[in-house]
Amino acid sequence: MSAADRSAVNQLYIGLGSNIGDREGWLRKAVEELRQIPGVLGMRVSAIYETAPVGYTDQGPFLNMAASLEVDVPVMDIFRQMMFIEQRLGRKRTIHWGPRTIDLDLLMVNNLAVRIEEPELIVPHPRMLGRAFVLTPLLDVMEREHPDYDKLLQRLQSLPDREGVNLWRKVQSQNESGHSAN
């Protein structure tokens, strides 16, 4: 049984992005759908940040955020639900790194040491360490005591594009115990 199939309590870190239509609305819908997945015990969400597109740049700016989910079901079950959420919210995969209503990326499971290599999923996300628009909201949802927090913060501070990640809006969220966070 692979790490992706084991059922235990895991902390999943997910990156969310949108650059079509009501970008903030798409993020909010995706967060609500993630919250409703069976096996999600708790969730924290980051602030929302606006960033320029990366890769394919002939498109509008993105709104990006991150979520931390505490789950007690197999990681691949959550990943498959993430792909269904993208489909339900109108994600079209026509241009690589192109415009999208919603993009959900599983960034990390528990910590950087946990590796998953499946045909449809690689964790940690292979490009996250080079993207300020991923690391900035990810650090928002990580506990300061997380074993990778300082490493990820140092990595973010070394990235030349970190100045291009601009706070769009703080989000009132519920942490794992149901109390307000952020």
Residue ranges per structural domain of the chain: 10-171
Q: Is the peptide bond before 53 cis (omega within 30 degrees of 0)?
A: no
Q: What is the pTM of this model?
A: 0.87
Query: Which of the following is catalytic: 103, 131, 148, 155?
Result: 103
Active site residue 148: no
- CB count within 10 Å of CB 108 equals 26
DSSP 61: P
In the chain (182 residues long), the average pLDDT of successive 10-residue segments reads: 66 96 95 96 96 75 96 96 91 64 94 95 95 96 97 96 87 46 40
Cβ(110)–Cβ(147) under 8 Å? no
Side-chain-facing half-sphere of 149: CA atoms under 13 Å: 9
- Sequence-distant (≥ 6) Cβ neighbours of residue 56 within 8 angstroms: 95, 96, 97, 98
CATH homologous superfamily of 10-171: 7,8-Dihydro-6-hydroxymethylpterin-pyrophosphokinase HPPK (3.30.70.560)
pLDDT digits (tens, 9 = 90+) for 29-61: 999 999 999 999 999 999 999 998 876 666 789
Cβ 74 vs Cβ 7: under 8 Å: yes
Asked if 100 is an active-site residue, the reply is: yes
72 an active-site residue?
no
User: Which of 23, 44, 100, 155 is flagged as catalytic?
Assistant: 100
| Amino acid symbol at 108 | M
**DSSP code for 39:** T
Residue of 47, 127, 41 lying closest to 78 (CA atoms): 41
Q: Which two tokens stand for residue 10?
A: 């895991």
Dist CA 104 CA 34 (whole Å): 10
Given the residues 105, 140, 148, 155, select the one marked as catalytic.
105
* Catalytic, out of 23, 44, 91, 131: 91
